[in-house]
């Protein structure tokens, strides 16, 4: 075990944090209004008495951003965790499917899946996690049947006061960062370097975001508002939920009548 040098962590963050910000902007650039409308609940907007195109657009874009950023940043933190563990325990990205990190400490092989926060999955996904750990253990023991293996679900933030899950351990927040680094204070020490050039990067994102809002609002007003500016809710619901796509319904009225 090597003692973690925080300067290495700071340098890694400063060199790589731009990737996160770039992917945030790329996620907006690839967004299409029709695809987003098809994924969102039109009844919710109506129930909330949303009457303007801009409010609908803000709602669907912000929901997309919130969900997407959690995934993007979670992936970025996974890379940071592997880098830190590599410095301390010579850990590496695992070659076993669905396992993110492998490292050895005190005659134990640790296999780790890294998630952003503690509430990352439903019961089926959690069962699959346990199954993946069992498969990984069998894979590793084909070459060394006596290998002591401990499986860990690591979460970058939050807490879990009952870490022993039977087939694996779940370490969250402070416990996770200490587990991979040996530093009980790392979870707070990470905050400062993560803000490297955050304002400049966010200014670029805000510009792309504003352009996207304006573009989508214009498209929505053209396609889903009548001449008086009222929202055509029926057409939105048909786009979102009709058994046959609206364009096909218009092209084949007989099929629509028999649906």
Q: N- to C-terminal Cα distance for the chain?
A: 67
Confidence at residue 245, expressed as pLDDT on a 0 to 100 scale: 64
Nearest to 101 by CA among 25, 154, 55: 154
| Per-position DSSP letters for 11-72, written without gaps between them | HHHHHHHHHHHHHHHHHHHT--HHHHHHHS-HHHHHHTT---HHHHHHHHHHHHHHHHHHHH
Nearest to 95 by CA among 34, 136, 63, 142: 136
Cα→Cα distances 97→150, 171, 228, 245, Å: 16, 21, 55, 38
Please say whether the beta carbons of 77 and 66 come within 8 A: no
Q: Assess whether pLDDT exceeds 60 at residue 255.
A: no
Q: Assess whether pLDDT exceeds 60 at residue 118.
A: yes
pLDDT digits 0-9 by tens, 6-65: 899 999 998 888 888 888 888 888 889 998 888 888 899 899 988 899 999 998 888 888
Please say whether the beta carbons of 205 and 41 come within 8 A: no
Half-sphere exposure of 94 (CA within 13 A, CB side): 24
Report the alpha-carbon distance of residue 145 to residue 25 in Å, rounded: 47
Q: Assess whether pLDDT exceeds 70 at residue 254.
A: no
Spans of all domains in the chain = 6-224
State the chain's mean pLDDT as an integer: 89
pLDDT digits 0-9 by tens, 66-117: 888 888 888 999 999 999 999 999 999 999 999 999 999 999 999 999 998 9
pLDDT more than 90, % of the chain: 60
User: Given pLDDT bands bounded at 50, 70 and 90, which one contains residue 246?
Assistant: low
Do the bridges between strand 149-155 and strand 108-115 make them parallel or antiparallel, or are there none, so unpaired? parallel
Report the alpha-carbon distance of residue 44 to residue 37 in Å, rounded: 12
Quick one: tokens of 70? 């959690």
Q: What is the pTM of this model?
A: 0.80
């Amino acid at each position: 075990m090597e003692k973690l040098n925080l300067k290495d962590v700071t340098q890694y963050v400063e060199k790589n944090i731009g990737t996160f910000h770039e992917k945030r902007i790329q996620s907006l650039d690839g967004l299409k209004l029709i695809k987003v409308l098809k994924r969102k609940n039109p009844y919710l907007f109506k129930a909330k008495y949303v009457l303007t195109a801009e409010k609908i657009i803000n709602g669907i874009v912000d929901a997309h951003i919130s969900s997407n950023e959690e995934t993007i940043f979670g992936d970025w933190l996974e890379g940071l965790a592997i880098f830190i563990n590599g410095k301390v325990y010579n850990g590496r990205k695992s070659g076993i499917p669905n396992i993110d990190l492998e490292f050895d400490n005190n005659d134990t092989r640790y296999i780790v899946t890294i998630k952003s926060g503690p509430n990352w999955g439903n019961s089926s996904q959690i069962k699959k996690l346990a199954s993946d750990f069992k498969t990984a253990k069998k894979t590793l023991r084909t070459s060394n049947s006596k290998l002591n293996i401990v499986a860990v679900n690591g979460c970058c933030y939050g807490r879990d006061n009952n870490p022993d899950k039977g087939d694996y351990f779940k370490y969250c927040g402070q416990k996770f960062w200490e587990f991979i680094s040996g530093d009980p204070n790392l979870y707070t020490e990470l905050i400062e370097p993560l803000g490297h050039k955050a304002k400049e990067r966010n200014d670029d994102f805000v510009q792309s975001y504003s352009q996207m809002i304006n573009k989508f609002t214009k498209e929505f007003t053209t396609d889903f508002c009548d001449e008086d500016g009222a929202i055509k809710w029926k057409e939105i619901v048909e786009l979102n939920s009709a058994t046959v796509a609206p364009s096909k319904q218009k092209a084949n009225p007989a099929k629509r009548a028999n649906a």
